């Protein structure tokens, strides 16, 4: 009796990359065609809108979010640790940065204010990630469940602050804090909503994480942790310390991004679901699309950021479609990318 099985495909690296590119490009064209039919626009106009989104400088607004978070998640995932809490760690980082900017003297000091705010945001993100990691390593609690649930605790905690003790005095009914002082704000590129300071920092982190994972004993041990804990222990390295370090770095990166969102984009603390906006969850996909490799994550961050821009372009451009349809179209593009990843690594065989 014939049966269908999935077999791992062995391709040379160059052919694997070419296969991914061609499959993703074909999927992209299919998604553009579906978009043109759904919106009533011509195929050429829809294609032009899509390419303009990929060339829009505002992709850096999302790259500066996805890239650092996905890099941190790649460190945890390489160690076979399931940190699904980047969204909550981002939100708590935003809370930490707001606290320094609004409620401490550091927030009014030129140059020192943004550095202190971002540093504290990273520390808060680290501490928020430390809770589930300790529960996993010392109590045996599944970290995928705890990190996922802690996202919603962070949401509610942030919302409590902006509706209660931190609510601004001059916000006229809105549930936000007051604006942060000018000294704490990071300058944005004129006409855009991102800061080159954060973008450059994100790309510096790419180099650091690459060297950390592939050129240091720590990184090699970390990657070995996913296949053999016993081998790591026999090498004289504590697997628990490695896991704690991986979780903490991952949380610190997400917390840093949360702080950057306050200093660059929001300029005040808003409700948790608005601060995160699901970008922490999206960063999980970005990390996997990049193959958990820092260089690949740069490409997947750019691709995902461009799709976010396309979503907005479809809603406010000549198409003027609703949010649900725009997101479904973007989902089609993501699905095409996942198919490309599958085709490059596996093949279906009838036996």
CATH topology of domain 55-305: ABC transporter involved in vitamin B12 uptake, BtuC (1.10.3470)
The two structure tokens encoding residue 140: 């045996």
Tell me if residue 166 falls in helix, strand or coil. Answer: coil
Q: What is the pLDDT of residue 13?
A: 63
pLDDT of 50 higher than 90 = no
Handedness of CA 18, 19, 22, 27 (dihedral sign): negative
Name which of 331, 323, 342, 307 is nearest 49 in CA terms.
Answer: 307
Close Cβ partners of 18 (under 8 Å, ≥ 6 residues apart): none
CB neighbours of residue 86 within 10 Å: 33
The pLDDT of residue 65 is above 70: yes
Q: What is the spatial distance between Cα 200 and Cα 161, in angstroms, rounded to a whole number?
A: 31
What pLDDT shows up at residue 323?
Answer: 60
Region 128-155 average pLDDT: 93
Answer yes or no: is pLDDT of 342 > 80: no
pLDDT at position 341 is 67
For the chain, percent of residues with pLDDT exceeding 90:
49
**Residues 101-122: pLDDT tens digits?**
999 999 999 999 999 999 999 9
Average pLDDT of the residues of the chain: 86
User: What are the tokens at 333?
Assistant: 């593009």
Confidence of residue 44 (pLDDT cuts 50, 70, 90): confident
Q: What is the pLDDT of residue 319?
A: 52
Angstrom CA distances, 91 to 129, 159, 177, 181, 285, stand at 12, 10, 14, 20, 18
CATH 1.10.3470 in the chain, residue ranges: 55-305
The conformational region for residue 188 under phi > 0 = left, psi -120 to 50 = alpha, else beta, is beta
∠ CA 213-249-117, rounded to 5°:
135
Q: What percent of the chain has pLDDT over 70?
A: 87
Q: What is the pLDDT of residues 222-270, one digit of tens each?
A: 888 877 777 777 777 788 888 999 999 999 999 999 999 999 999 999 9
Question: What does the DSSP assignment read for 184-246?
Answer: GPPPPPTTSS--HHHHHHHHHHHHHHHHHHHSSHHHHHHHHTTT-HHHHHHTT--HHHHHHHH
pLDDT at 175 over 80: yes
Q: Across-strand partners of 350?
A: 4
Tell me what pLDDT residue 325 has: 62
Please state which of the ranges 12-21, 227-236, 314-323 shows the lowest mean pLDDT: 314-323
Cα(327)–Cα(202) distance, rounded to whole angstroms? 26
């Amino acid at each position: 009796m014939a049966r269908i099985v999935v077999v791992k495909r062995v391709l040379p690296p160059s052919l694997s990359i070419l296969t991914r590119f061609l499959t993703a490009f074909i999927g992209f064209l299919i998604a553009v065609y579906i978009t043109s039919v759904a919106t009533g626009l011509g195929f050429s106009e829809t294609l032009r809108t899509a390419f303009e989104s990929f060339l829009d400088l505002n992709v850096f607004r999302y790259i500066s979010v996805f890239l650092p978070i996905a890099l941190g998640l790649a460190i945890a995932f390489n160690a076979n640790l399931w940190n699904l809490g980047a969204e909550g760690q981002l939100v708590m980082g935003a809370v930490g940065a707001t606290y320094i900017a609004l409620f401490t003297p550091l927030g009014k000091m030129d140059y020192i204010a943004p550095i202190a705010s971002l540093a504290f945001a990273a520390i808060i993100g680290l501490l928020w990630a430390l809770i589930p990691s300790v529960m996993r390593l010392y109590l045996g609690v599944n970290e995928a469940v705890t990190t996922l649930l802690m996202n919603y605790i962070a949401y509610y905690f942030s919302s409590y602050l902006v509706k209660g003790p931190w609510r601004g005095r001059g916000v006229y009914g809105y549930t936000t804090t007051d604006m942060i002082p000018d000294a704490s704000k990071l300058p944005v590129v004129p006409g855009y909503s991102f800061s080159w300071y954060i973008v450059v920092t994100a790309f510096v982190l790419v180099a650091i994480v690459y060297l950390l994972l592939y050129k240091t004993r720590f990184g090699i041990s970390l990657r070995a942790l996913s296949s053999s804990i016993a081998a790591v222990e026999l090498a004289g390295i504590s697997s628990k310390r490695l896991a704690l370090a991986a979780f903490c770095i991952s949380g610190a990166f997400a917390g840093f991004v949360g702080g950057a969102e306050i200093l660059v984009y929001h300029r005040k603390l808003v409700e948790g679901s608005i601060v995160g906006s699901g970008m922490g969850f999206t960063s999980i996909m970005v990390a996997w699309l990049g193959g958990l490799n820092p260089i690949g994550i740069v490409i997947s961050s750019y691709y995902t950021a461009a799709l976010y821009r396309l979503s907005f372009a479809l809603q406010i451009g000549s198409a003027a479609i609703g949010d649900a349809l725009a997101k479904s179209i973007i989902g089609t593009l993501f699905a095409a990318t996942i198919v490309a990843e599958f085709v490059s690594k596996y093949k279906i065989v009838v036996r």
